[in-house]
């Protein structure tokens, strides 16, 4: 894969520092050097010590990534929301994990995406998960289609430049929900469980902002924006204020035949395309199980 830049500064600069400004790490430079890539300036191969001049054309060739041989193939079709040479945005169904685990090596979104890459005969078949969701959470997920894109999107995540919004159905003490509020409570591991998290002063800061959309005596639909990305953050925060998610048995939510998974859906993502700088905005309607339950709220 090739990327081209025009050096537009008037003062000279060493090529390696210019490449760093473009998000090319030392690790990626090593990959380019030792795995079949190349760096050229004005059509001539140069090393990173080259001194750039105004209007020099820099072309980077990054070697193909092949595939993760240990990631198994799952031929289940994926629901593609957006795709280009660098990104893949999909709508993940509930009851599907994001990535394989030791005792569940197949059946995840990563397995399904790899099979899709294989069917398309893409040169890059390594799976780069940018945003993941819990197994029982539905909604939008972002995959980078090569390591350079993944690295640049990770910078946006660290700088909190990803907007992630969710809708959830909550139960419990819903009468005390405010029209708009920020839950700011630290989250830590619960060492009495392999899975659970808990509110604890020793934990990491976690912020969840919510807006109340509608409610009745038993159920409320809330719109949520994450400002941090802790494991189980939404589930832990709403359980902490007495309003666990419907279907979330782990954190005390009501489970029955109408909702047997946490009623949580990532419906909106906003971020900047790592190469075109285009503002990207994706939305995805509630899945049928949540939509049917939400309709019961008059």
Pairing of strands 124-125, 207-215: unpaired
Please give the Cα distance from 226 to 115 (Å, whole number).
Answer: 31
On whether the CB atoms of residues 250 and 196 are closer than 8 A, the answer is yes
Mean pLDDT over 226-243 rounds to 96
Q: Name all domains of the chain by residue range, CATH numbers in brackets.
A: 2-61 (no CATH), 64-159 (3.30.2350.10), 164-266+292-296 (3.30.2350.10)
Please give the Cα distance from 170 to 168 (Å, whole number).
Answer: 6
pTM (2 d.p.) = 0.92
Other C-beta atoms closer than 10 Å to the C-beta of 31 total 18
Residues 6+ positions from 296 with CB-CB distance below 8 Å: 216, 219
DSSP 21: H
DSSP 8: -
Please give the Cα distance from 235 to 253 (Å, whole number).
Answer: 9
pLDDT category at 33 given cuts 50, 70, 90 is: confident
- 134 belongs to the catalytic site: yes
**Three-class DSSP category at 210:** strand
Q: Which of 56, 134, 136, 248 is catalytic?
A: 134
pLDDT digits (tens, 9 = 90+) for 242-269: 999 999 999 999 998 899 999 999 999 9
- Would you say residue 176 has pLDDT above 90? yes
Please give the Cα distance from 198 to 188 (Å, whole number).
Answer: 5
Listed residue (110, 60, 61) closest to 88, CA to CA: 110
Task: Tell the residue number behind the tokens 């048995």, with chain if given.
Answer: 249
- Would you say residue 69 has pLDDT above 90? no
- Output Rg (C-alpha) for the chain, integer angstroms: 22
- Would you say residue 118 has pLDDT above 90? yes
Listed residue (161, 230, 162, 180) closest to 200, CA to CA: 230
pLDDT digits (tens, 9 = 90+) for 127-175: 999 999 999 999 999 999 999 999 999 999 999 999 999 999 999 999 9
- Would you say residue 66 has pLDDT above 90? no
């Amino acid at each position: 894969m090739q990327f081209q830049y025009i050096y537009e500064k008037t003062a000279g600069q060493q090529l390696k520092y210019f490449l760093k400004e473009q998000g090319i790490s030392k690790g990626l430079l090593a990959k380019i050097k030792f795995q079949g890539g190349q760096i050229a300036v004005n059509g001539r191969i140069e090393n990173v010590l080259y001194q750039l001049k105004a209007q020099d054309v820099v072309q980077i060739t990054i070697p193909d990534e092949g595939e993760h041989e240990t990631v198994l193939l799952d031929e289940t079709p994926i629901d593609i929301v957006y795709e280009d040479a660098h990104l893949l945005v999909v709508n993940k169904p509930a009851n599907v994990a994001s990535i394989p685990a030791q005792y569940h090596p197949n059946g995840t979104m990563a397995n399904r995406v790899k099979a899709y890459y294989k069917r398309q005969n893409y040169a890059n078949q390594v799976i780069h998960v940018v945003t993941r969701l819990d197994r029982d959470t539905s909604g939008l997920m972002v995959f980078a289609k090569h390591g350079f894109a993944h690295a640049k999107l990770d910078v946006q995540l660290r700088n909190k430049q990803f907007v992630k919004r969710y809708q959830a159905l909550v139960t419990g003490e819903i009468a005390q929900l405010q029209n708009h509020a920020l839950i700011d409570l630290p989250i830590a591991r619960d060492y009495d469980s392999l899975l659970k998290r808990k509110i604890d002063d020793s934990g990491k800061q976690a912020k969840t902002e919510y807006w109340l959309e509608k409610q009745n005596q038993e159920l409320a639909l809330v719109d949520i924006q994450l400002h941090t990305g802790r494991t189980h953050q939404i589930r832990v925060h709403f359980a902490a204020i007495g309003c666990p998610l419907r279907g979330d048995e782990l954190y005390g939510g009501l489970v029955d035949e109408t909702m047997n998974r946490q009623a949580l859906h990532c419906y909106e993502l906003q971020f900047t395309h790592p190469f075109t700088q285009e503002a990207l905005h994706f939305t995805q309607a509630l899945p049928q199980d949540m939509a049917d339950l939400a309709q019961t709220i008059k």
